[in-house]
Structure 1
Amino acid sequence: MPNVRPVPTVRRRRLGEALRRYRNATGLSLDAASAELGWLGPKLSRIETANGHIRPAEVAPLLRVYGVTDPDVVSALEGLAKDARKQGWWQTYSGVVAPAYADYISLESDAESLRIWSPLLVPGLLQTAGYAREAVSANATTRTPEEVAALSEVRMARQAVLTRPAGPLKFWAVLQEAVLYQRFAVRPDTMRDQLRRLLDVAELPNVTLQIMPLAATPHPGGAGGFNLVGFPGPMPDVVLLENLIGATYVEGVDEVQVFADAFERIVAAALPVDDSMALITRMEEESRR
């Protein structure tokens, strides 16, 4: 497996996209904006395309050229510039965590909110260790047992964002009811423990959990699952789409809004929270008989 890139490029992409958006709003060309700061060569172009690094101290002067002086915007982009080189705890697992996955963990750790429509699996932030091992093993068909164990550990470590002292992630997940009927022949207790975990984590004040009933009316979730990652301040949201060979990010503001609107419709079609908890409770009780 390739090692994780030393720089979390997803942070650079977010920063570059924000700076390009502010520049375009002024009508300035790359050359004109660079000239205002005395920058030579393709420095600004490289920053906007996430191929170059901008120092935090350079952010405010550049934003002033664009007429942006809002302290919240300046602070947010300075923080992103500072963190662009920061390596997270997941670097310890660089031998098994692919670059795209490392990018997502970086997004997740920076996020203020996460909305998930999950029609096939319990989301990673809600999984038990047993469920995580089974899920990773089923999907990572080319992995060794040691790599499966390491990836399961990564999934468990990610869950710290739900209870982090600096401000827990606001997490809202809608699961297809069929997910609750999953069975594991080798470890029959896996799903029982997972149902209990769902009930426990749903008690957190920052977690909202709903179930999409099998008898639900048609809704946009039929197009497939997605993760909608939200950030504080001026930073635009990002959508993650996953498949067996990797991940795709949707980062355009208009495109992300399509998923935000879809999630609202999915929420409306799902069971209310209390009814969802009652369904999970009933299934958990039945699994213990």
Structure 2
Amino acid sequence: MPHSQLVPTIRRRRLAQTLVQLRKGAGLSSEDAAAAMGWSNPKMSKIENVRQQIQPAEVHELLKAYGYKENDEKHAEVFTALENLARDARKKPGWWQTYSGVVSPSYADYISLEEDAQLICEWTPLVLPGLLQTLSFARETIAGTARSRTPQEVQALAEVRQARQAVLTRSENPLKLWAIIHEAALCTRFERRPATMRDQLRKLLEVSELPNVTIQVMPTDATVHPGILGGFSLVSFPGPTPDVVLLENLSGATYVEGDGTHPFADAVKRIHAAALSEEDSLARIATLEEGHRK
């Protein structure tokens, strides 16, 4: 599949899942919905199975068929969210296309999710979230984990991580980030550039001052919690659009969608409860940063 089609595909999938959910909530079969729209059953099936695009105007009429009213304030939010998603699903990839030589299709998918997201909850037991990394930290970790990359590719990928961080400070609806980081990830050593971790800890303290960013630290002596099974990112969107979960390992990225995201939403609450409070977390980070200055 061509790279330019991948981002719209994941957006269409989210849109289709949401429309199916709303149809079922309205108590309608796909045949009933097709009849209400004056469509053939095959067209309805193709839209719900992500084999055919749906126009924003068609989304609007479909929502009305599902009982949504234009003059209802809460319903208006649903109209806006899903019509925008349908419109965005037709777009080509954004700024990251400039880095298409190093950004994999699955990575491009995730960047598009970050752009659309309202809230991301990240549990990172081994490394810091990309949205919080300094350029130096990004370069060092990418170079250390992607041995086959050239120095130029490492630099490009580090720049991508920096560019992604714009979602935290955009003027309209900045992304809310809730990052729970294991204390071990704050103690990474960089022998060639020992100042890297000190500067990174300072950045965490600076970014934590943003009203849309929450950072918690999981202490090394924490009680047992679901996060010991591995890290993940839980991505939530405006309106009724379902969550998406990203899992990463050496073989690449895996997306969990639909009902499969529910256990992760529950896990986030339990991981949050096991971690230090936000105030104590920042105090722990400040102590570690001070240690690097001695």
Instruction: Please indicate, yes or no, whether the TM-score normalized by the shorter chain is above 0.5.
Output: yes
Aligned to 1:252: 258
* 1:92 is the counterpart of 2:130: no
* 1:185 is the counterpart of 2:167: no
3-state SS of paired residue (2:5): coil
Structure 1 length-normalised TM: 0.93
Deviation at 1:155?
0.5
- Aligned mate of 1:83, from 88, 96, 116: 88
Which digits, 9 at most, give the CA deviation of each residue in 1:151-196, with x for residues without a partner?
A: 1111000001111100211111111111111011221111111111
Q: Which amino acid aligns with 2:125?
A: P
3-state SS of paired residue (2:221): coil
Counterpart Cα distance in 2 of 1:257 and 1:30: 25
Distance 1:38 1:256, change over 3 A: same
Aligned to 2:72: none
Aligned to 1:13: 13
Counterpart Cα distance in 2 of 1:234 and 1:12: 14
- Aligned mate of 1:270, from 248, 270, 275: 275
Aligned to 1:60: 60
* 1:45 is the counterpart of 2:45: yes
Deviation at 1:142?
2.6
Flag as ranges the 4+ runs of structure 1 deviating above 6 A. Answer: none
Does the CA-based 8 Å contact 1:16-1:50 persist in structure 2? Answer: yes
Does the CA-based 8 Å contact 2:120-2:175 persist in structure 1? Answer: yes
Aligned to 1:140: 146
Aligned to 1:241: 247
Deviation at 1:40?
3.8
3-state SS of paired residue (2:102): coil
Deviation at 1:235?
1.5
- Count of residues in Structure 1 that have an aligned counterpart in Structure 2: 287
Deviation at 1:106?
0.8
Counterpart Cα distance in 1 of 2:30 and 2:145: 44
3-state SS of paired residue (1:5): helix
Distance 1:6 1:122, change over 3 A: closer
Which digits, 9 at most, give the CA deviation of each residue in 1:65-104, with x for residues without a partner?
A: 3333322222211110011122311122122211111111
Aligned to 2:109: 103
Deviation at 1:7?
4.4
Q: Which amino acid aligns with 1:240?
A: L
In the alignment, structure 1 segments of 5+ residues that lack a partner are: none
Which digits, 9 at most, give the CA deviation of each residue in 1:12-58, with x for residues without a partner?
A: 11100011122233454434433332334733222222232111111
Q: Which moved more, 1:22-31 or 1:240-249?
A: 22-31
Does the CA-based 8 Å contact 2:17-2:242 persist in structure 1? Answer: no
Q: Which amino acid aligns with 1:58?
A: E
Counterpart Cα distance in 2 of 1:26 and 1:278: 49
